[in-house]
Amino acid sequence: MRYAYHRQVAGVVCGALLGVGLGVSGTGAQAWAEETPKAAVQNNMDVGLEYTLTVDGAVVDTTEGKPAFHYIQGKGQIIPGLERQLVGLHIGDAKEITVTPEEGYGKFDPAAIVEVPKEQLPKDMTPAVGMALRGVNPDGKNFRAMVHEVKEKTVVLDLNHPLAGKTLNFKVKVVGIAPASAS
């Protein structure tokens, strides 16, 4: 079920990149700093981060000019390599973090390149190279794919996460830490 992981993760990250369905707050981090100044990032803490993600020197995602990103530490809401390296940081701490493909979105998997008949695509769709597609697999799981190649009767899709096989470089600053709410 390696592809299930890629399909699940495709919907998870990038502005999007770090989390799924997480709320953000532009004012929450300030209130947290006053309430819990000595708190450290640990499991079951609601963590507010400012971050910039680069891959091969190019900015892929950032919170610059946006509210801080929030997630619950230890719940697997962000990629494992980033979550692991945030443990122990305090409000105000800044850190540069490198995440390998194995602890990010996995290695690029050539077997995740699949060829499907055009008839399986919606009738009103004209596939083009680089087009992002979303769908539901036979198991009922959502997935994303990128059109890799368009042939006469088929379309070649890449089911890898767009950042699979990439080393991720984060610059992070912890701007808030508070116990996660029970809800």
What is the domain partition of the chain in residue ranges? 2-106+163-179, 110-158
Q: What is the pTM of this model?
A: 0.73
The predicted-structure confidence for 13-39, as pLDDT tens digits, reads as follows 333 333 332 233 334 444 444 445 688
Q: What CATH class is the domain 2-106+163-179?
A: alpha beta
Say which residue the tokens 């499991």 belong to.
Answer: 43
Q: What is the CATH number of domain 110-158?
A: 2.40.10.330
The stretch 96-125 carries a mean pLDDT of: 95
The stretch 67-78 carries a mean pLDDT of: 97
Residues linked to residue 45 through DSSP beta bridges, in sequence order: 179
User: Would you state the structure tokens that stand for residue 36, as one six-digit string?
Assistant: 């819990």
pLDDT at 36: 53
The torsion angles phi and psi of 100, rounded to 5 degrees, stand at -75, 160
Q: Check if the beta carbon of residue 96 is closer than 8 Å to that of residue 50.
A: no
The stretch 40-66 carries a mean pLDDT of: 97
Q: Check if the beta carbon of residue 101 is closer than 8 Å to that of residue 167.
A: yes
Q: Check if the beta carbon of residue 145 is closer than 8 Å to that of residue 11.
A: no
User: Would you state the structure tokens that stand for residue 87, as one six-digit string?
Assistant: 């443990």
Q: Which residue has the higher pLDDT, 183 or 78?
A: 78
